[in-house]
Structure 1
Amino acid sequence: MQLRAGTLALTATLAFLTSLLPLSTDMYLPSLPAIARAFEVAPADAQATLSMFLLGMVGGQVFYGPLSDSLGRRPALLAGMVLFTVASLLCAFSQSIGLLIAARFLQALGAAAPVVIGRAIVRDLYDGSQAGRELSRMGAFMGLIPALGPMLGGVTQQYLGWRAIFIIAAVLSTALGLFVWRALPETSRIGVKVWPGFGSILREYGIVLRSPVYRAYVGILVASHAGLFAFISTATFILQGRYGLTPVQFGLGFGTAGFGYVAGAFTAQRIVTKLGLDGTIRLGVLAQLAAGAAALTLMLAQFGSSLTVILPAALFTFGHGLVQPQTQAGSALPHPDRAGAAASLAGIFQLGFASLYGFILASGLSYTPLVLPCGLALAGIASTTIFFATRSIRARK
């Protein structure tokens, strides 16, 4: 079996590849309080396993894009998946919080490969709004992981414990890697099959970054993704600590917000060929602006329901489902021959800022739960402001 462009099988495969990132974060979120108790550490130390994972993703993305441009998509992709599997097993058998944090870093280095290379493969095979539509279709598939992952993680935590979550990740990664090895063809058009060298990697990034259109789309993506990680980094402690949800109930609540992303991505793939990339992004950033305002208003009103957090977060993730695939497609437009480098650099900014933003907000949980709605509101304001401020720049594409 060989996967081909334009088929549902290829879309589903790429979606599952890119879903290793949300699988590695969302499924274990219900276990963060249990991990803190198991190693007898503060919540911020347990949350550091998430922040270190994001930093590892940033580090991994530095290399995978340019490597896949030079060596081919398949070798770089399979190497990353092997690393992810091994690191997941190390996470499962860690005996201290320090070892778990280190193993999470290695796991992230592996997870960076399918995330970056999956987007690069889309740019190899599709252009413009068609690339945006394909990324939206992938997002609709991929969004099931953040929607269902916390639910499955909550059940796993309650009955099997947090170590089982990492074993499940290793098994799924192994199965997916074997399928990719057998069925996914090489899609890179200009691979030269040599190590590019660090100097060449930096030059490629410099060329990509000089494009104003690229910077505009990546700026919107970074702001939107920061809001998503404001929720990911703080929701488990607020929903389980402030509102007293069990791990299973937290999984259901978090999954509700995750379905917002699925709905947004599904909507985007239906409308992007009519409205275009920018028209779809406009709807997304306005939804995020409204979500941030709603979250802040409801928490200040002190309603005693977890829905005051979950429903605004679902609206924000709906907007993110509209924004992320289109900004990723738009950022790739100026550089069709450097799709890997463009995807890597976008991921570095996206996850690098998100990890810092999430860590700062999580540190503020000791003082006030308002860090979550404030984080959503600031991200909504930023994504909307950047979108409208760069309209003339993006029109040049």
Structure 2
Amino acid sequence: MTAATADVTPARPRTLRYALILGGLSAFAPLSIDMYLPALPTMVEDLHSSDATLQVTLTGFIIGLALGQLVIGPVSDAMGRRKPLLAGLALYAVMSVLCALSPSAGLLVGFRLLQAIGAAAGVVIARAIVRDLYSGTAMTKFFSMLMLVSGLAPILAPVVGGQLLRATSWRGVFVVLTVFGAALLLAAAFALPEPLPPQRRRSARFGATLRNYWSLLRDRSFLGYALAAGLMFAGLFAYVSASSFVLQDVYGLSPQQFSLVFGANGVGIVLAGQINGRLVGRFFRERTLLATGLTLSTVGGLGVLLAAVFALPLPALLIPLVLLVSSIGLVMPNASSLALAEHPHNAGSASALLGVMQFVIGGMATPLVSIGGAASAVPMGTVMASFAVAAVVVFRTMTRPVRT
């Protein structure tokens, strides 16, 4: 990293406050995507709609999330982080209320699209704020700290949604998301000062924004780190979408046993993230830890595939599965830090591309897993192993060490 971006470490109380707020902002997307999935069958009946139409509410959210990040990232580079963030959080809270009150599937699709644009503000600006406040090893350590909150979100959201449905309807799930968005709006308004001074802001004109994105896409190293993170995210998507069928229908686990396995993997992500924060800068560089995480994920993915192909006992599947899922805690902090390291003056745009790649590539995993059906663990193992191997190939062929 350049001398102008030497490590910055704020005081401990502020660090904890930022970690809680930015971790919550980072969790917007997985919570909003996964928490209501267990309610889809009842929503079909309640809204007198079809499975295909209700699936569009998920597709619409993904589209809104991608477009929202691409727009809000450059806007935050020009206006500062607070105004776009507060506007996005307010939009998210209002749209969550309208989702809860939605009388039809068609309106729900529209509300979900707008809800996603609000959520995009939290996701993209959270990463940009980390780059504004930190650099070098301090940035990687902070991304590792965020794994305490954001790492658990994609794993536990479906479990939380399922438990909520025992006490309320699908509309209650959106009420909970409303409360979550409103709480973060208040926290950001009163406890998150503007991190981007006026002298560091950039133009958000359309031409300048396109040139900025083109410059990032031509940066081979940035693109390599972003693609590696996206491919790992796809492996996580494959696990989230297929593991319930594999572990319950194929291996015979009860819902309670599946929840324990699901939760244990979530804890594995968090522990790996905290180990990463302890090791980085003290014993290893970010690039070394990223390579280690990618290697572990590949070993885990191939182990899952072998266990599935040869119909090995459950422990032979669970051990490499834990290894692969937990490696997310090593990969994501280091890949994010290295991707953003050399882009301090357009962190919003760089964060937007980083996030879009994660969700676009990650979204490919679910249909790929479903092609093979749910009667075997082989489709899940094949997809997870393939994305893990692809991430290693991208890392080795496209990235280079960050300048020091």
Name the TM-score, length of structure 1 as normaliser: 0.88
Question: What's the counterpart of residue 7 of structure 2?
Answer: none
Following TM superposition, by how much is the alpha carbon of 1:178 offset from its aligned partner in structure 2, in angstroms? 1.0
Aligned with residue 274 of structure 2, among 266, 270, 282: 266
- Structure 1 residues 145 and 117, CA, compared in 2 at 3 Å: closer, same or farther? same
Query: Residue by residue, what CA displacement relative to the aligned partner does 1:242-298 show, whole Å, maximum 9, x if unpaired?
Result: 567676655444323222221221111111113111011011101110121122122
1:300 and 1:62 map into 2 onto residues whose CA distance is 40
Partner-residue secondary structure (3-state), 1:275: coil
Query: Residue by residue, what CA displacement relative to the aligned partner does 1:282-340 show, whole Å, maximum 9, x if unpaired?
Result: 111011101211221222233575x7766544322211111111111111122111111
Following TM superposition, by how much is the alpha carbon of 1:26 offset from its aligned partner in structure 2, in angstroms? 3.3
Question: What's the counterpart of residue 4 of structure 2?
Answer: none
Does 1:113 find its partner at 2:157? no
Partner-residue secondary structure (3-state), 1:7: helix
8 Å contact from structure 2 (residues 155, 240) kept in 1 = no
Question: What's the counterpart of residue 301 of structure 1?
Answer: 310
Aligned with residue 90 of structure 2, among 57, 63, 82: 82
1:154 and 1:40 map into 2 onto residues whose CA distance is 22
8 Å contact from structure 1 (residues 51, 358) kept in 2 = no
Task: Give the gaps of 5 or more residues in structure 2.
Answer: 1-9
Question: What's the counterpart of residue 355 of structure 2?
Answer: 347
Higher deviation after alignment, 115-124 or 356-365: 356-365
The residue identity in structure 2 corresponding to 1:61 is: Q
Question: What's the counterpart of residue 104 of structure 1?
Answer: 112
Name the TM-score, length of structure 2 as normaliser: 0.87
Following TM superposition, by how much is the alpha carbon of 1:369 offset from its aligned partner in structure 2, in angstroms? 5.1
8 Å contact from structure 2 (residues 308, 376) kept in 1 = no
Partner-residue secondary structure (3-state), 2:284: helix
8 Å contact from structure 2 (residues 246, 374) kept in 1 = no
The residue identity in structure 1 corresponding to 2:287 is: D
Aligned with residue 284 of structure 1, among 287, 290, 293: 293
Does 1:161 find its partner at 2:169? yes
- Structure 1 residues 243 and 53, CA, compared in 2 at 3 Å: closer, same or farther? farther
Aligned with residue 324 of structure 1, among 313, 318, 332: 332
The residue identity in structure 2 corresponding to 1:214 is: F
- Structure 1 residues 388 and 219, CA, compared in 2 at 3 Å: closer, same or farther? same
Aligned with residue 127 of structure 1, among 109, 132, 135: 135
Question: What's the counterpart of residue 57 of structure 1?
Answer: 65
- Structure 1 residues 35 and 297, CA, compared in 2 at 3 Å: closer, same or farther? farther
Aligned with residue 398 of structure 2, among 390, 393, 396: 390
8 Å contact from structure 1 (residues 27, 150) kept in 2 = yes
8 Å contact from structure 1 (residues 284, 323) kept in 2 = yes
Following TM superposition, by how much is the alpha carbon of 1:181 offset from its aligned partner in structure 2, in angstroms? 0.6
Does 1:183 find its partner at 2:191? yes
The residue identity in structure 1 corresponding to 2:295 is: L
Following TM superposition, by how much is the alpha carbon of 1:355 offset from its aligned partner in structure 2, in angstroms? 1.5
- Structure 1 residues 315 and 101, CA, compared in 2 at 3 Å: closer, same or farther? farther
Following TM superposition, by how much is the alpha carbon of 1:195 offset from its aligned partner in structure 2, in angstroms? 7.4
8 Å contact from structure 1 (residues 264, 317) kept in 2 = no
Higher deviation after alignment, 234-243 or 194-203: 234-243
Q: How is 1:17-56 mapped onto 2 (pairs within 5 angstroms)? A: 17-35=25-43, 46-56=54-64
8 Å contact from structure 1 (residues 295, 313) kept in 2 = yes
2:27 and 2:222 map into 1 onto residues whose CA distance is 24
- Structure 1 residues 257 and 42, CA, compared in 2 at 3 Å: closer, same or farther? farther
Following TM superposition, by how much is the alpha carbon of 1:107 offset from its aligned partner in structure 2, in angstroms? 2.0
The residue identity in structure 1 corresponding to 2:241 is: S
The residue identity in structure 1 corresponding to 2:15 is: T
Higher deviation after alignment, 20-29 or 362-371: 362-371
Partner-residue secondary structure (3-state), 2:102: coil
Following TM superposition, by how much is the alpha carbon of 1:133 offset from its aligned partner in structure 2, in angstroms? 0.9
Task: Give the gaps of 5 or more residues in structure 1.
Answer: none
- Structure 1 residues 233 and 49, CA, compared in 2 at 3 Å: closer, same or farther? farther
8 Å contact from structure 2 (residues 242, 380) kept in 1 = yes
> What's the RMSD between the two structures over aligned residues?
3.0
2:197 and 2:231 map into 1 onto residues whose CA distance is 32
